[in-house]
Chains A and B, each alone.
Chain A
Amino acid sequence: MNAAKGLEEQLPGTRSNGATVIATIFKFQSLFGLVAVFILATILDPETFPRPDNLLDVVRASAENGILAVGMTMVILIGGIDLSVGSVLGMASVGISVLLAQSGFGMWPAIICVLGVGLVFGILQGIANARFKIQAFIVTLAGMQVARGIARIWSGGQGVSITYQSQGGPVSDAFAFIGGKTFGGTVPIPAIVFIVIAVLAALFLRFTTFSRHVYAIGGNEKAARLSGVPVLWTKILVFGICGLLAALAGIVHAGQLNNGDPNDGQTYELDAIAAVVIGGASLTGGRGGVLGTVAGALLVGVLRNILALRGVNSDLQLIIIGLVIVLTAGLQLLRPASMRA
């Protein structure tokens, strides 16, 4: 700004225009990253990649991870972590399959039951963390084992397939819609579920007092408590929502595969955490958002898609995605000092 001005004129937090631009770029780093990867992919494969059906498939393929990552975002915002979401996804996919195929539940009762199981599982983890002060990492590490165990017991240790009535099986054809497409067979349902959840969560995290409490707890838990924020309930509910979303992802998973396998969803929690981190959230809490996370999840999705289209082998894909995660985390270090904690 004005170089002649001394420090007393320069009110704290005043930024030059250049600094504002840089700050904006960092705030939405994953969006810019997504655009960059998108352009790169279009250049590498102008034939297939930009076609609408391929792009919609990218969103579909990112849906499960994206839904998990939205819940993970909230947990990470309060300074926690949830390692159990992959197992909860597995448990939910088994649950919905068993309820539909073996227990004779209708579609909606089965879905509500499974979502309820996810919610309760999350709430229990939240209580262990918030009330009994066991670290989130430990609680959910244990929860990861427990959910996996429940999934194996519930399924009898093997995959439970969903066969529809039209195929001569017990499951109502209505459930087939989850794996299908809509709008004249163009838009995959999982993509729609993902987008709806993302939009709802983004609005929720922007316009509710609950969300303000979430950010306040992540920013400084002691200060939040002393300011009258109901820290205990907020934390418990956040874990509950994360569990609920993991169960929803599990239902989508089962719907896509027409199968519930108790071993599915392993290491999904790490992909979800990766999406949140690429999205610019701070693992110490208080900073981040759904928009960034969604872009982070899509960025990984686009990357996987273009690498597959170009025939890059899957082992190499892992290495490249790993490097991208480290790179974006490294980018955080370049943030202007004024934006760092």
Chain B
Amino acid sequence: MLDTLSGAALALQKSITRSVGELMGNETDGGVPLVAMAGISKSYGGAQACVEVDFAIRAGQVHALLGENGAGKSTLMKVLSGDITDYTGTIHIGGEPRRFARPADAQHAGIAMIHQELDLVPALSVAENVYLGREPRTRLGTADFGAMVDGTAALLERTGIPIDPRRAVEQLRTGEQQLVIIAKALALDARVLIMDEPTSALSSHEVEQLFGVVSELRAAGVGIVYISHRMDEIGRIADVATVLRNGSVVKEFDVGSMTSEQASEAMVGRKVEALFTHESVAREAELLEVGELRLSRKRPVPGRRDPRGISLRVHAGEIVGLAGLLGAGRTELLQTLYGVGAKGRLHGRILLNGKEYRPSGVRNAMASGIAYVPEDRRIEGLSLDHSVTANSVLSTLSTIAWNGFLRGGSERDAAARMVERLGVKTASVRTAVGALSGGNQQKVVLGRNLVTEPKLLLLDEPTRGVDIGAKAEIYTLLTEAAKQGLGVLLASSELAELIGVCDRVVVLRDGVSVREMSTARLGEAELLAVSMGAASLDESRGEDG
């Protein structure tokens, strides 16, 4: 599907020299795996996080580690990276038995973990970050910036990462920052890279770039552990896969010989009904009409792509997708409609239920029947320290409370109903929301918005970092809610999600809605191509209203 594009990316990568191997040392040969973990067990209190797990990483291999949240993936990788020390079992590195006492030991042994959180100093340049803590010196004893820049440039060129080493990290996009972290790990002679959900914050284009680098590293003999919830990525990038469930290895296979259904089944331990269950319903009344929406402000905010001409419609009972690359203005459109983050003059028209709607703040949006699930639940969605109850009733507190006084019982009842309706897995409604898994946290954010009984639901990346079981449940919830007449505007960088869940997709590019397509016969490659602006790809199709 993506052959044309990724092919082009690969060709580009291959034209760059392939000498990363020199950087890695020469231990890429022979049958001895880079890392062999055997009989690894670890328990927290009474709960077994890992049970007798065997796991091997070979040079030049991308090894996918699959499993739902809580299956033991992170625990296993923390054992390998020296984060967890009180485990049982053995680890051999290049045939030598090792037991790491701290993360630094693992790093010295060539094992680098690329965290979901980005461990970079934003104000420093790429080169300074790469050399952080081991800066080359000039004869005067001062830091040798020239040497740093040269060394970093050489490193980036070898790995095919097109970033200027002099740029400050804070100016880079998330995907580029991720590549810098990889470069930094390589500079420290990493032979094993552990990548935990590396694409969760990347746009499709950046994913391609990352995959290019991963291919390059594989060719150079680096062993890579790849943790992801996205089956399509596993199919494209991984060589072998290990599936964990409840702390045990339940399946190992060559990626070429499996289907994503088989992998999903192994992960959840039962047959997964089709991930996407959405069927188009007859269109009901028009709910939202946005016409030539434009936001102008005196001073543009760097990194923000305000609407510059967006037109779209959402009918009641319809799920409309917002596609586009990172920086295409999807989040900004949703925020503008919700009345947040956009101080400036609005041009164009917004009709909600046929009546003119002027976004002027959260309370106005909520009163107009609009709900918004933000992109990052940890940053914008939840107060992690606080209970499920406190988080889930926050938007409806005034209807539950009596004249400004809380009614604890009613609140807990309301929270319990939400937990029941959305199938949130939690010990009680008093549990701190931060203790829940990502998928269940997301359900709490979703639930808080659904209980306001909105007419229009704005969703930004609703399944990011959510495991496959919870993902399917969220899709079902959305579909059900749409059947009840809710209109949904869903922004996502996951192409399969847009195509599988939505009735129609509107593609944004640089803050402009460039195309609207029915998802009925739409392929991912075509959607990506339109998002990237490759208008040549089968222009005749998809221009449908």
Contact = CB atoms under 8 A, between A and B. Distances in A.
B246 interface: yes
Interface in A207-243: 207-213, 215-216, 218-220, 222-230
A315 B71 CA distance: 57
Given A13-B428, A207-B405, A207-B406, A222 B390 contact: no
B476 interface: no
B205 interface: no
Contacts of A2: 46
Contacts of B362: 225-228
Given A207-B406, A209-B397, A210-B404, A223 B47 contact: no
A206 B398 CA distance: 15
A229 B428 contact: no
Interface string B418-453: 000000011110011011110010000000100000
Contacts, number: 128
B46 A13 contact: no
Interface stretch (B282-290, B349-357, B372-380): B372-380
Nearest to B377: A223
Contacts of A213: 397
Interface residues of B, number: 48
A208 B407 CA distance: 9
Nearest to A222: B380
Contact of B394 (A5, A10, A13, A212): A212
A8 B469 CA distance: 13
Contact of B395 (A12, A14, A227): A227
Interface string A279-291: 0001000110000
A316 interface: no
B382 interface: yes
B247 interface: yes
A264 B406 CA distance: 39
B384 A13 contact: no
Given A14-B427, A223-B382, A286-B385, A7 B394 contact: no
A341 B427 contact: no
Contacts of B46: 1-3, 5, 10, 16
A341 B385 contact: yes
B359 interface: no
A155 B418 CA distance: 59
A287 B338 CA distance: 29
Contact of B246 (A6, A211, A339): A6
A17 to B, nearest CB: 12
Given A3-B46, A212-B406, A216-B394, A226 B340 contact: yes
Contacts of A209: 397-398, 401, 404-406
Given A208-B404, A216-B386, A228 B366 contact: yes
B49 interface: yes
A68 B55 CA distance: 58
A333 interface: no
A19 B397 CA distance: 31
A282 B384 CA distance: 14
Chain A contact patch, size range: 35 or more
A338 interface: yes
A6 B71 CA distance: 10
Contacts of B440: 12
Contacts of A215: 383, 386, 390
18 contacts: A3-B43, A3-B46, A5-B47, A7-B247, A11-B425, A12-B436, A12-B440, A13-B431, A207-B406, A208-B404, A212-B394, A219-B386, A220-B384, A222-B374, A223-B394, A225-B362, A226-B338, A286-B385
A202 to B, nearest CB: 14
7 smallest CB-CB distances across A and B, nearest first, come from A219-B383, A13-B431, A6-B246, A13-B435, A14-B427, A220-B383, A227-B394
A6 B48 contact: yes
Contacts of A207: 405-406
B417 interface: no
A223 to B, nearest CB: 5
A13 B398 contact: no
Nearest to B430: A13
B89 interface: no
B45 interface: yes
Nearest to A2: B46
Interface centre among B246, B379, B383 (most CB of A within 10 A): B383
B247 A226 contact: no
Contacts of A282: 385
A228 B362 CA distance: 6
B297 interface: no
A12 B405 contact: no
B363 interface: yes
A3 B405 CA distance: 43
A28 B194 CA distance: 41
A223 B380 contact: yes
Contacts of B395: 227-228
User: Which of B247, B338, B380, B428 has most chain A Cβ within 10 Å?
Assistant: B380
Nearest to A284: B385
Nearest to B405: A207
Given A12-B440, A225-B362, A7 B381 contact: no
Contacts of B398: 209
B72 interface: yes
Contacts of B372: 226
B448 A227 contact: yes
B327 interface: no
A206 to B, nearest CB: 8
A338 B404 CA distance: 31
A286 B390 CA distance: 12
Nearest to B367: A228
Given A7-B246, A13-B427, A224-B383, 12 more contacts: A3-B43, A3-B46, A11-B427, A12-B427, A212-B406, A219-B390, A223-B374, A223-B383, A227-B448, A228-B363, A228-B395, A341-B384
